[in-house]
A and B are shown apart, each in its own frame.
Chain A
Amino acid sequence: MLALHADRLVARYGPVTVVRDATVRLEDRSLAAIVGPNGAGKSTFVKVIAGVLKPAGGRVYLGDEELTGLPAHRIARRGLAYVPQNANVFPSLTVVENLEMGGFTRKEGLRPRISEVLDIFPDLARATKKRAGTLSGGQQNMLAMARALMLDPRVVLLDEPTAGLSPAYTQVVWDQVQRVTKTGTAVLVVEQNVDLALANASYVYVFVAGTNHAEGPSADVAALDLAAIFLGRAGAREH
Protein backbone atom coordinates (compact mmCIF):
# COMPACT_ATOMS: atom_id res chain seq x y z
CA MET A 1 0.00 0.00 0.00
CA LEU A 2 1.18 3.52 -0.75
CA ALA A 3 2.46 5.20 2.43
CA LEU A 4 3.52 8.52 0.94
CA HIS A 5 2.65 10.20 -2.33
CA ALA A 6 4.22 13.59 -3.03
CA ASP A 7 2.64 14.57 -6.32
CA ARG A 8 4.11 17.18 -8.67
CA LEU A 9 5.44 19.37 -5.86
CA VAL A 10 6.63 22.88 -6.60
CA ALA A 11 8.76 24.91 -4.15
CA ARG A 12 10.18 28.40 -4.42
CA TYR A 13 12.64 30.52 -2.43
CA GLY A 14 11.34 33.98 -3.30
CA PRO A 15 11.26 34.26 -7.08
CA VAL A 16 13.53 31.22 -7.62
CA THR A 17 11.81 27.90 -8.30
CA VAL A 18 13.89 25.19 -6.62
CA VAL A 19 11.55 22.20 -7.01
CA ARG A 20 9.31 21.84 -10.06
CA ASP A 21 6.73 19.07 -10.50
CA ALA A 22 8.75 16.56 -8.48
CA THR A 23 6.99 13.32 -7.55
CA VAL A 24 7.79 10.48 -5.15
CA ARG A 25 5.75 7.39 -4.25
CA LEU A 26 6.78 5.37 -1.23
CA GLU A 27 5.30 1.97 -0.36
CA ASP A 28 4.70 0.92 3.25
CA ARG A 29 7.77 -0.67 4.91
CA SER A 30 9.99 0.27 1.97
CA LEU A 31 13.32 2.09 1.82
CA ALA A 32 13.76 4.55 -1.02
CA ALA A 33 16.43 7.16 -1.68
CA ILE A 34 16.64 10.41 -3.59
CA VAL A 35 20.00 11.15 -5.19
CA GLY A 36 21.15 13.96 -7.39
CA PRO A 37 23.80 16.61 -7.85
CA ASN A 38 24.13 19.60 -5.52
CA GLY A 39 21.30 22.06 -6.00
CA ALA A 40 18.93 19.42 -7.37
CA GLY A 41 16.30 20.42 -4.80
CA LYS A 42 16.39 17.12 -2.88
CA SER A 43 16.46 18.66 0.60
CA THR A 44 13.93 21.34 -0.32
CA PHE A 45 11.62 18.60 -1.63
CA VAL A 46 11.55 16.73 1.69
CA LYS A 47 11.20 20.01 3.62
CA VAL A 48 8.03 20.72 1.63
CA ILE A 49 6.68 17.23 2.36
CA ALA A 50 7.39 17.73 6.08
CA GLY A 51 5.66 21.14 6.14
CA VAL A 52 8.81 23.07 6.96
CA LEU A 53 8.36 24.96 3.68
CA LYS A 54 5.04 25.83 2.09
CA PRO A 55 4.48 24.23 -1.32
CA ALA A 56 3.87 26.54 -4.27
CA GLY A 57 2.10 23.69 -6.04
CA GLY A 58 1.36 19.98 -5.92
CA ARG A 59 -0.10 17.72 -3.25
CA VAL A 60 1.15 15.47 -0.44
CA TYR A 61 -0.69 12.40 0.80
CA LEU A 62 0.12 10.14 3.74
CA GLY A 63 -1.85 7.04 2.88
CA ASP A 64 -5.27 8.42 1.92
CA GLU A 65 -4.93 11.56 4.02
CA GLU A 66 -3.93 14.81 2.35
CA LEU A 67 -1.25 16.80 4.20
CA THR A 68 -0.71 19.60 1.70
CA GLY A 69 -0.15 22.95 3.39
CA LEU A 70 -0.58 21.70 6.96
CA PRO A 71 1.83 23.19 9.53
CA ALA A 72 4.82 20.99 10.36
CA HIS A 73 3.65 20.10 13.88
CA ARG A 74 0.33 18.77 12.57
CA ILE A 75 2.07 16.74 9.87
CA ALA A 76 4.32 15.18 12.51
CA ARG A 77 1.29 14.28 14.62
CA ARG A 78 -0.31 12.52 11.64
CA GLY A 79 2.61 10.11 11.34
CA LEU A 80 5.21 11.67 9.10
CA ALA A 81 8.55 12.28 10.79
CA TYR A 82 11.35 14.40 9.40
CA VAL A 83 15.02 14.43 10.35
CA PRO A 84 16.87 17.49 9.04
CA GLN A 85 20.45 17.30 7.84
CA ASN A 86 21.86 19.85 10.29
CA ALA A 87 20.93 20.80 13.84
CA ASN A 88 18.81 17.68 14.18
CA VAL A 89 19.02 17.28 17.97
CA PHE A 90 18.36 19.59 20.92
CA PRO A 91 21.93 20.06 22.20
CA SER A 92 21.13 21.27 25.72
CA LEU A 93 18.68 18.42 26.37
CA THR A 94 19.81 14.93 27.41
CA VAL A 95 19.36 11.93 25.14
CA VAL A 96 16.23 10.86 27.02
CA GLU A 97 14.83 14.40 26.97
CA ASN A 98 15.38 14.50 23.20
CA LEU A 99 13.37 11.28 22.91
CA GLU A 100 10.67 12.76 25.14
CA MET A 101 10.43 15.72 22.78
CA GLY A 102 10.09 13.27 19.89
CA GLY A 103 7.13 11.73 21.72
CA PHE A 104 5.78 15.08 22.90
CA THR A 105 2.25 14.47 21.64
CA ARG A 106 1.98 10.88 22.86
CA LYS A 107 -0.95 10.59 25.24
CA GLU A 108 0.41 7.40 26.83
CA GLY A 109 3.17 4.84 26.62
CA LEU A 110 6.04 7.31 26.48
CA ARG A 111 8.45 5.33 28.72
CA PRO A 112 7.83 1.95 27.03
CA ARG A 113 8.32 3.59 23.63
CA ILE A 114 11.63 5.12 24.76
CA SER A 115 12.76 1.62 25.79
CA GLU A 116 11.69 0.17 22.43
CA VAL A 117 13.52 2.89 20.51
CA LEU A 118 16.66 2.48 22.62
CA ASP A 119 16.57 -1.24 21.78
CA ILE A 120 16.88 -0.27 18.11
CA PHE A 121 19.77 2.12 18.88
CA PRO A 122 21.86 0.35 21.57
CA ASP A 123 24.63 2.98 21.35
CA LEU A 124 22.21 5.57 22.72
CA ALA A 125 21.06 3.32 25.55
CA ARG A 126 24.51 3.75 27.08
CA ALA A 127 24.31 7.56 26.96
CA THR A 128 20.78 8.37 28.08
CA LYS A 129 21.81 11.05 30.57
CA LYS A 130 24.36 12.74 28.33
CA ARG A 131 23.53 16.07 26.78
CA ALA A 132 22.95 15.63 23.05
CA GLY A 133 25.40 18.44 22.30
CA THR A 134 28.24 16.35 23.73
CA LEU A 135 27.60 13.34 21.44
CA SER A 136 29.65 12.64 18.30
CA GLY A 137 28.17 13.59 14.92
CA GLY A 138 27.25 9.97 14.20
CA GLN A 139 25.59 9.51 17.58
CA GLN A 140 23.66 12.74 17.07
CA ASN A 141 22.35 11.41 13.76
CA MET A 142 21.34 8.18 15.49
CA LEU A 143 19.57 10.19 18.19
CA ALA A 144 17.79 12.25 15.53
CA MET A 145 16.53 9.05 13.91
CA ALA A 146 15.53 7.61 17.27
CA ARG A 147 13.67 10.79 18.13
CA ALA A 148 11.81 10.62 14.82
CA LEU A 149 10.54 7.12 15.70
CA MET A 150 8.99 8.17 18.99
CA LEU A 151 5.53 8.80 17.48
CA ASP A 152 5.48 5.44 15.64
CA PRO A 153 5.48 7.25 12.31
CA ARG A 154 4.27 5.62 9.12
CA VAL A 155 6.99 7.43 7.15
CA VAL A 156 10.37 8.88 8.12
CA LEU A 157 12.15 11.40 5.90
CA LEU A 158 15.93 11.50 6.44
CA ASP A 159 17.88 14.37 4.94
CA GLU A 160 21.47 13.25 4.33
CA PRO A 161 21.94 11.21 7.53
CA THR A 162 25.56 10.38 6.64
CA ALA A 163 26.69 13.92 5.75
CA GLY A 164 29.93 14.81 7.49
CA LEU A 165 30.47 11.34 8.95
CA SER A 166 33.60 9.23 8.54
CA PRO A 167 33.36 6.54 5.83
CA ALA A 168 33.54 3.86 8.52
CA TYR A 169 30.48 5.24 10.25
CA THR A 170 28.28 5.85 7.19
CA GLN A 171 27.45 2.15 6.76
CA VAL A 172 26.65 1.92 10.48
CA VAL A 173 24.07 4.65 9.97
CA TRP A 174 22.61 2.88 6.94
CA ASP A 175 22.42 -0.37 8.90
CA GLN A 176 20.33 1.48 11.45
CA VAL A 177 18.13 2.85 8.68
CA GLN A 178 17.58 -0.75 7.52
CA ARG A 179 16.63 -1.71 11.09
CA VAL A 180 14.11 1.14 11.17
CA THR A 181 12.37 -0.18 8.03
CA LYS A 182 12.16 -3.60 9.68
CA THR A 183 10.06 -2.03 12.46
CA GLY A 184 7.37 -1.33 9.85
CA THR A 185 8.18 2.28 9.00
CA ALA A 186 8.75 3.40 5.43
CA VAL A 187 11.88 5.51 4.99
CA LEU A 188 12.76 8.05 2.32
CA VAL A 189 16.42 9.11 2.46
CA VAL A 190 18.06 12.02 0.70
CA GLU A 191 21.61 10.82 0.07
CA GLN A 192 24.55 12.62 -1.51
CA ASN A 193 26.59 9.42 -1.72
CA VAL A 194 25.11 7.59 -4.70
CA ASP A 195 26.95 4.31 -4.06
CA LEU A 196 25.54 4.09 -0.54
CA ALA A 197 22.04 4.87 -1.75
CA LEU A 198 22.21 2.23 -4.48
CA ALA A 199 23.64 -0.35 -2.10
CA ASN A 200 21.02 0.14 0.60
CA ALA A 201 17.76 1.46 -0.84
CA SER A 202 15.42 -0.75 -2.81
CA TYR A 203 14.14 2.07 -5.00
CA VAL A 204 16.00 5.20 -6.08
CA TYR A 205 14.86 8.54 -7.48
CA VAL A 206 17.33 10.70 -9.40
CA PHE A 207 16.61 14.41 -9.15
CA VAL A 208 18.23 16.95 -11.48
CA ALA A 209 17.45 20.67 -11.52
CA GLY A 210 14.56 20.34 -9.08
CA THR A 211 12.64 17.55 -10.79
CA ASN A 212 12.59 13.79 -11.42
CA HIS A 213 15.16 12.75 -13.99
CA ALA A 214 15.10 8.99 -13.52
CA GLU A 215 13.79 6.41 -11.08
CA GLY A 216 13.57 2.68 -10.58
CA PRO A 217 14.81 -0.26 -8.54
CA SER A 218 18.39 0.27 -7.38
CA ALA A 219 19.84 -2.23 -9.84
CA ASP A 220 18.16 -0.45 -12.78
CA VAL A 221 19.32 2.99 -11.65
CA ALA A 222 22.84 1.63 -11.09
CA ALA A 223 22.92 0.68 -14.76
CA LEU A 224 22.40 4.32 -15.81
CA ASP A 225 25.30 6.64 -16.59
CA LEU A 226 24.80 8.63 -13.39
CA ALA A 227 28.06 10.55 -13.78
CA ALA A 228 26.81 11.93 -17.07
CA ILE A 229 23.42 12.77 -15.55
CA PHE A 230 25.03 14.53 -12.59
CA LEU A 231 27.37 16.46 -14.85
CA GLY A 232 24.52 17.57 -17.08
CA ARG A 233 25.57 15.54 -20.10
CA ALA A 234 22.39 13.43 -20.18
CA GLY A 235 19.91 13.91 -22.93
CA ALA A 236 16.35 12.65 -22.63
CA ARG A 237 14.76 11.92 -19.23
CA GLU A 238 14.85 8.28 -18.24
CA HIS A 239 12.09 6.56 -16.25
Chain B
Amino acid sequence: MVPLPSPCVNPYGLAIGFGLVTASILAIASVGLTLQFGVTNYVNFAYGDFMTLGAYLAFEINAGGHLSIWLAMVLSALCMGVVGVAADRFLLSPFTRRFPNLFYVLIVTFGLSLILLNLIGAIWTPNFQQLPVATENPLHLGPFLLTPSQVAIFGTGVALMFGAHLLLTRTKLGKAMRAMSDNTSLATVCGIDTRLVTSVTWFITGALSGIAGSVLAIDLGTITPAVGETFLFVIFASVILGGIGKPYGAMLGALVIGLTTELSAVVINPAYKLDVAFGLLVVVLLLRPQGIVASAGKA
Protein backbone atom coordinates (compact mmCIF):
# COMPACT_ATOMS: atom_id res chain seq x y z
CA MET B 1 0.00 0.00 0.00
CA VAL B 2 1.80 3.08 -1.19
CA PRO B 3 0.48 6.17 0.59
CA LEU B 4 -0.15 9.27 -1.45
CA PRO B 5 2.51 11.90 -0.88
CA SER B 6 1.49 15.35 0.19
CA PRO B 7 2.72 18.13 -2.08
CA CYS B 8 5.35 19.27 0.43
CA VAL B 9 7.08 15.89 0.65
CA ASN B 10 10.45 15.60 -1.06
CA PRO B 11 10.07 12.78 -3.64
CA TYR B 12 13.63 11.58 -3.00
CA GLY B 13 13.04 11.39 0.75
CA LEU B 14 9.83 9.53 0.01
CA ALA B 15 11.67 7.11 -2.29
CA ILE B 16 14.41 6.50 0.28
CA GLY B 17 11.73 5.65 2.85
CA PHE B 18 10.10 3.16 0.52
CA GLY B 19 13.56 1.90 -0.43
CA LEU B 20 14.37 1.15 3.20
CA VAL B 21 11.12 -0.82 3.54
CA THR B 22 11.85 -2.78 0.35
CA ALA B 23 15.43 -3.33 1.53
CA SER B 24 14.15 -4.68 4.85
CA ILE B 25 11.96 -7.26 3.13
CA LEU B 26 14.78 -8.13 0.73
CA ALA B 27 17.34 -8.41 3.51
CA ILE B 28 15.22 -10.86 5.52
CA ALA B 29 14.73 -13.05 2.45
CA SER B 30 18.29 -12.68 1.13
CA VAL B 31 19.99 -13.57 4.41
CA GLY B 32 17.83 -16.71 4.59
CA LEU B 33 18.64 -17.74 1.03
CA THR B 34 22.35 -17.01 1.33
CA LEU B 35 22.64 -18.88 4.65
CA GLN B 36 21.02 -21.91 3.03
CA PHE B 37 23.51 -21.71 0.19
CA GLY B 38 26.45 -21.14 2.55
CA VAL B 39 25.75 -24.20 4.65
CA THR B 40 24.38 -26.62 2.04
CA ASN B 41 26.23 -25.33 -1.03
CA TYR B 42 23.19 -25.43 -3.31
CA VAL B 43 20.72 -22.80 -4.45
CA ASN B 44 17.11 -23.34 -3.37
CA PHE B 45 14.83 -22.30 -6.22
CA ALA B 46 11.81 -23.09 -4.05
CA TYR B 47 12.70 -20.27 -1.62
CA GLY B 48 10.23 -17.84 -3.24
CA ASP B 49 7.45 -20.40 -2.85
CA PHE B 50 8.43 -20.91 0.79
CA MET B 51 7.84 -17.17 1.18
CA THR B 52 4.44 -17.40 -0.51
CA LEU B 53 3.40 -20.34 1.66
CA GLY B 54 4.51 -18.40 4.74
CA ALA B 55 2.42 -15.41 3.65
CA TYR B 56 -0.72 -17.49 3.04
CA LEU B 57 -0.25 -19.30 6.36
CA ALA B 58 0.11 -15.97 8.18
CA PHE B 59 -3.11 -14.62 6.70
CA GLU B 60 -4.93 -17.91 7.27
CA ILE B 61 -3.91 -17.81 10.96
CA ASN B 62 -4.79 -14.11 11.07
CA ALA B 63 -8.26 -14.62 9.62
CA GLY B 64 -9.08 -18.01 11.14
CA GLY B 65 -7.55 -17.52 14.56
CA HIS B 66 -8.50 -13.84 14.94
CA LEU B 67 -4.92 -13.06 15.91
CA SER B 68 -2.98 -9.94 15.02
CA ILE B 69 -1.17 -10.25 11.71
CA TRP B 70 2.18 -9.83 13.49
CA LEU B 71 1.53 -12.69 15.88
CA ALA B 72 0.22 -14.73 12.95
CA MET B 73 3.48 -13.95 11.14
CA VAL B 74 5.49 -15.39 14.04
CA LEU B 75 3.39 -18.58 14.08
CA SER B 76 3.69 -18.84 10.31
CA ALA B 77 7.48 -18.47 10.63
CA LEU B 78 7.60 -21.38 13.08
CA CYS B 79 5.52 -23.48 10.67
CA MET B 80 7.84 -22.56 7.80
CA GLY B 81 10.84 -23.50 9.94
CA VAL B 82 9.36 -26.99 10.28
CA VAL B 83 8.60 -27.07 6.53
CA GLY B 84 12.25 -26.14 5.86
CA VAL B 85 13.58 -28.92 8.08
CA ALA B 86 11.19 -31.41 6.47
CA ALA B 87 12.25 -30.35 2.96
CA ASP B 88 15.89 -30.86 3.93
CA ARG B 89 15.51 -34.12 5.87
CA PHE B 90 13.06 -35.93 3.60
CA LEU B 91 13.85 -34.57 0.15
CA LEU B 92 17.07 -32.63 -0.36
CA SER B 93 19.54 -34.32 2.01
CA PRO B 94 18.63 -37.88 0.93
CA PHE B 95 18.86 -36.74 -2.67
CA THR B 96 22.27 -35.08 -2.26
CA ARG B 97 23.61 -38.18 -0.52
CA ARG B 98 22.59 -40.34 -3.49
CA PHE B 99 23.32 -37.84 -6.24
CA PRO B 100 26.06 -35.41 -5.14
CA ASN B 101 25.98 -33.49 -8.45
CA LEU B 102 24.64 -30.06 -7.45
CA PHE B 103 22.96 -29.53 -10.80
CA TYR B 104 20.54 -32.36 -10.00
CA VAL B 105 19.72 -30.77 -6.63
CA LEU B 106 19.02 -27.52 -8.42
CA ILE B 107 16.48 -29.30 -10.59
CA VAL B 108 14.90 -30.90 -7.50
CA THR B 109 14.45 -27.48 -5.84
CA PHE B 110 12.97 -26.21 -9.08
CA GLY B 111 10.54 -29.14 -9.04
CA LEU B 112 9.71 -28.45 -5.40
CA SER B 113 9.00 -24.85 -6.40
CA LEU B 114 6.48 -25.97 -9.04
CA ILE B 115 4.81 -28.38 -6.63
CA LEU B 116 4.44 -25.69 -3.95
CA LEU B 117 3.20 -23.13 -6.49
CA ASN B 118 0.44 -25.44 -7.70
CA LEU B 119 -0.38 -26.66 -4.21
CA ILE B 120 -0.85 -23.09 -3.01
CA GLY B 121 -3.00 -22.34 -6.09
CA ALA B 122 -5.11 -25.44 -5.41
CA ILE B 123 -5.68 -24.55 -1.75
CA TRP B 124 -6.12 -20.76 -1.93
CA THR B 125 -7.07 -20.34 -5.65
CA PRO B 126 -4.69 -18.79 -8.20
CA ASN B 127 -6.43 -15.40 -8.02
CA PHE B 128 -5.34 -12.15 -6.42
CA GLN B 129 -6.56 -11.85 -2.86
CA GLN B 130 -7.00 -8.58 -1.05
CA LEU B 131 -5.64 -8.86 2.46
CA PRO B 132 -7.74 -7.80 5.44
CA VAL B 133 -5.28 -5.07 6.43
CA ALA B 134 -6.88 -2.00 7.94
CA THR B 135 -6.44 1.29 6.08
CA GLU B 136 -3.65 3.22 7.74
CA ASN B 137 -2.81 6.90 7.78
CA PRO B 138 0.80 7.52 6.74
CA LEU B 139 3.15 9.01 9.30
CA HIS B 140 5.61 11.83 8.65
CA LEU B 141 8.96 10.61 9.97
CA GLY B 142 11.54 13.23 9.02
CA PRO B 143 11.73 13.16 5.22
CA PHE B 144 9.86 9.85 5.04
CA LEU B 145 6.16 9.17 4.72
CA LEU B 146 5.41 5.64 5.87
CA THR B 147 2.43 3.72 7.18
CA PRO B 148 2.69 2.18 10.66
CA SER B 149 2.89 -1.25 8.98
CA GLN B 150 5.82 -0.11 6.85
CA VAL B 151 7.58 1.24 9.95
CA ALA B 152 6.98 -2.13 11.62
CA ILE B 153 8.39 -3.92 8.56
CA PHE B 154 11.50 -1.75 8.71
CA GLY B 155 11.83 -2.43 12.45
CA THR B 156 11.38 -6.16 11.86
CA GLY B 157 14.10 -6.12 9.19
CA VAL B 158 16.56 -4.21 11.39
CA ALA B 159 15.85 -6.43 14.41
CA LEU B 160 16.29 -9.61 12.38
CA MET B 161 19.54 -8.41 10.80
CA PHE B 162 20.88 -7.53 14.25
CA GLY B 163 19.77 -10.97 15.44
CA ALA B 164 21.50 -12.60 12.47
CA HIS B 165 24.68 -10.66 13.30
CA LEU B 166 24.58 -11.82 16.93
CA LEU B 167 23.86 -15.38 15.84
CA LEU B 168 26.79 -15.50 13.41
CA THR B 169 29.37 -13.75 15.60
CA ARG B 170 28.44 -14.52 19.21
CA THR B 171 26.99 -18.03 19.29
CA LYS B 172 28.58 -21.45 18.82
CA LEU B 173 25.81 -22.36 16.39
CA GLY B 174 26.39 -19.29 14.22
CA LYS B 175 30.15 -19.82 14.16
CA ALA B 176 29.57 -23.48 13.26
CA MET B 177 27.34 -22.32 10.40
CA ARG B 178 30.14 -20.03 9.17
CA ALA B 179 32.66 -22.84 9.60
CA MET B 180 30.48 -25.20 7.55
CA SER B 181 30.10 -22.50 4.97
CA ASP B 182 33.91 -22.48 4.66
CA ASN B 183 34.54 -26.21 4.77
CA THR B 184 31.94 -28.81 5.79
CA SER B 185 34.39 -31.71 5.82
CA LEU B 186 36.77 -29.87 8.16
CA ALA B 187 33.85 -28.92 10.41
CA THR B 188 33.02 -32.61 10.71
CA VAL B 189 36.52 -33.59 11.83
CA CYS B 190 36.32 -30.83 14.46
CA GLY B 191 33.52 -32.83 16.07
CA ILE B 192 30.68 -30.66 14.75
CA ASP B 193 27.51 -32.61 13.97
CA THR B 194 27.06 -31.08 10.52
CA ARG B 195 23.71 -32.78 9.90
CA LEU B 196 22.30 -31.19 13.03
CA VAL B 197 23.69 -27.77 12.13
CA THR B 198 22.22 -28.16 8.62
CA SER B 199 18.79 -28.95 10.06
CA VAL B 200 18.92 -25.97 12.43
CA THR B 201 19.97 -23.77 9.49
CA TRP B 202 16.95 -24.98 7.51
CA PHE B 203 14.70 -24.18 10.45
CA ILE B 204 16.09 -20.66 10.79
CA THR B 205 16.07 -19.95 7.06
CA GLY B 206 12.61 -21.49 6.66
CA ALA B 207 11.37 -19.18 9.41
CA LEU B 208 13.04 -16.22 7.69
CA SER B 209 11.28 -17.12 4.42
CA GLY B 210 7.95 -17.17 6.28
CA ILE B 211 8.59 -13.74 7.80
CA ALA B 212 9.82 -12.32 4.48
CA GLY B 213 6.73 -13.60 2.66
CA SER B 214 4.41 -12.22 5.34
CA VAL B 215 5.94 -8.73 5.41
CA LEU B 216 6.01 -8.67 1.60
CA ALA B 217 2.30 -9.43 1.51
CA ILE B 218 1.57 -6.87 4.26
CA ASP B 219 3.47 -4.23 2.26
CA LEU B 220 1.72 -5.09 -1.02
CA GLY B 221 -1.72 -5.52 0.54
CA THR B 222 -2.49 -8.33 -1.90
CA ILE B 223 -1.31 -11.86 -2.36
CA THR B 224 -1.10 -14.37 -5.23
CA PRO B 225 0.52 -17.82 -5.45
CA ALA B 226 3.31 -16.33 -7.59
CA VAL B 227 4.20 -13.41 -5.29
CA GLY B 228 7.30 -15.05 -3.79
CA GLU B 229 8.49 -16.50 -7.08
CA THR B 230 8.38 -13.06 -8.72
CA PHE B 231 10.30 -11.58 -5.80
CA LEU B 232 12.87 -14.43 -5.91
CA PHE B 233 14.73 -12.85 -8.80
CA VAL B 234 15.20 -9.60 -6.88
CA ILE B 235 16.42 -11.66 -3.92
CA PHE B 236 18.92 -13.39 -6.21
CA ALA B 237 20.06 -9.96 -7.39
CA SER B 238 20.81 -8.77 -3.86
CA VAL B 239 22.45 -12.08 -2.86
CA ILE B 240 24.70 -12.07 -5.93
CA LEU B 241 25.41 -8.36 -5.57
CA GLY B 242 26.65 -8.87 -2.02
CA GLY B 243 28.61 -12.02 -2.83
CA ILE B 244 26.92 -15.43 -2.82
CA GLY B 245 26.93 -17.16 0.57
CA LYS B 246 27.85 -14.03 2.53
CA PRO B 247 25.09 -12.91 4.93
CA TYR B 248 26.57 -9.43 5.42
CA GLY B 249 26.90 -9.10 1.65
CA ALA B 250 23.24 -10.07 1.29
CA MET B 251 22.26 -7.34 3.76
CA LEU B 252 24.30 -4.76 1.85
CA GLY B 253 23.01 -6.06 -1.50
CA ALA B 254 19.43 -5.75 -0.23
CA LEU B 255 20.04 -2.16 0.86
CA VAL B 256 21.58 -1.22 -2.49
CA ILE B 257 18.85 -2.90 -4.54
CA GLY B 258 16.04 -1.58 -2.34
CA LEU B 259 17.23 2.03 -2.45
CA THR B 260 18.22 1.99 -6.13
CA THR B 261 14.93 0.57 -7.36
CA GLU B 262 12.81 3.02 -5.36
CA LEU B 263 15.00 6.03 -6.19
CA SER B 264 14.93 5.13 -9.89
CA ALA B 265 11.14 5.30 -9.75
CA VAL B 266 11.43 9.04 -9.05
CA VAL B 267 13.14 9.75 -12.35
CA ILE B 268 11.88 6.98 -14.65
CA ASN B 269 8.68 4.99 -15.03
CA PRO B 270 8.28 2.79 -11.90
CA ALA B 271 7.46 -0.12 -14.21
CA TYR B 272 11.21 -0.32 -14.91
CA LYS B 273 12.23 -0.76 -11.26
CA LEU B 274 13.19 -4.41 -11.74
CA ASP B 275 15.14 -3.56 -14.88
CA VAL B 276 17.17 -1.06 -12.86
CA ALA B 277 17.90 -3.73 -10.23
CA PHE B 278 19.18 -6.18 -12.83
CA GLY B 279 21.07 -3.47 -14.72
CA LEU B 280 22.87 -2.64 -11.49
CA LEU B 281 23.59 -6.32 -10.94
CA VAL B 282 25.13 -6.64 -14.41
CA VAL B 283 27.33 -3.57 -13.86
CA VAL B 284 28.56 -4.85 -10.47
CA LEU B 285 29.26 -8.31 -11.86
CA LEU B 286 31.26 -6.82 -14.71
CA LEU B 287 33.34 -4.67 -12.37
CA ARG B 288 33.48 -6.95 -9.34
CA PRO B 289 32.42 -10.54 -10.15
CA GLN B 290 32.95 -11.74 -6.56
CA GLY B 291 30.28 -9.32 -5.31
CA ILE B 292 30.58 -6.20 -3.17
CA VAL B 293 31.70 -8.03 -0.03
CA ALA B 294 34.82 -9.98 -0.96
CA SER B 295 36.59 -12.08 1.64
CA ALA B 296 37.89 -15.60 2.08
CA GLY B 297 35.14 -18.15 2.54
CA LYS B 298 31.48 -17.79 1.85
CA ALA B 299 30.09 -16.59 5.18
Contact = CB atoms under 8 A, between A and B. Distances in A.
Contacts of A51: 189
A101 B187 contact: yes
B188 A73 contact: yes
Interface in B32-76: none
B186 interface: yes
Interface stretch (B115-123, B176-184, B267-275): B176-184
A73 to B, nearest CB: 5
Given A92-B298, A93-B182, A133-B295, A82 B175 contact: no
B125 interface: no
A132 B296 CA distance: 9
A239 B112 CA distance: 59
A147 interface: yes
B31 interface: no
Nearest to B181: A92
Nearest to A151: B191
B172 interface: yes
A103 B176 CA distance: 11
A131 B186 contact: no
Contacts of B297: 90-93, 133
B295 A90 contact: no
A90 B182 contact: yes
Interface string A65-83: 0000001110111000110
> Which of the four size classes fits the interface of chain A?
20 to 34
Contact of A90 (B172, B178, B191, B193): B178
B189 A84 contact: yes
A50, A100, A101 pick with most chain B CB within 10 angstroms: A101
Interface string A151-169: 1000000000000000000
Given A76-B188, A93-B182, A101-B192, 5 more contacts: A52-B188, A84-B185, A87-B183, A91-B297, A102-B190
Chain B interface SS verdict (over half): helix
Nearest to B38: A92
Interface in B159-205: 172, 175-176, 178-179, 181-183, 185-194
B208 to A, nearest CB: 21
Contacts of A76: 188-191
B168 to A, nearest CB: 10
B145 to A, nearest CB: 40
Interface of B: 172, 175-176, 178-179, 181-183, 185-194, 295-299
Given A92-B295, A92-B299, A133-B295, A101 B189 contact: no
A3 B183 CA distance: 28
A50 B190 CA distance: 11
Contacts of B182: 90-93
B172 A100 contact: yes
Interface string A108-136: 00000000000000000000000111100
13 contacts: A71-B188, A73-B192, A77-B191, A84-B186, A87-B185, A90-B186, A90-B187, A92-B295, A92-B296, A93-B178, A97-B179, A100-B172, A101-B190
B296 A133 contact: yes
Given A91-B296, A93-B175, A73 B183 contact: no
A99 to B, nearest CB: 10
A104 B181 contact: no
B295 to A, nearest CB: 6
Contacts of A91: 182, 296-297
B191 A105 contact: yes
Given A100-B172, A133-B295, A133-B296, A90 B179 contact: yes
Contact of B172 (A72, A73, A104): A104
Given A87-B183, A93-B175, A131 B189 contact: no
A88 interface: yes
Nearest to B191: A76
Interface string A38-80: 0000000000001110000000000000000001110111000
Contacts of B188: 52, 71-73, 76
A102 B186 CA distance: 10
Contact of A97 (B175, B181, B192, B295): B175
B176 A104 contact: yes
A130 to B, nearest CB: 11
B179 A73 contact: no
A81 B188 CA distance: 11
A61 B117 CA distance: 52
Nearest to A100: B175
A50 B189 contact: yes
Nearest to A50: B189
A33 to B, nearest CB: 20
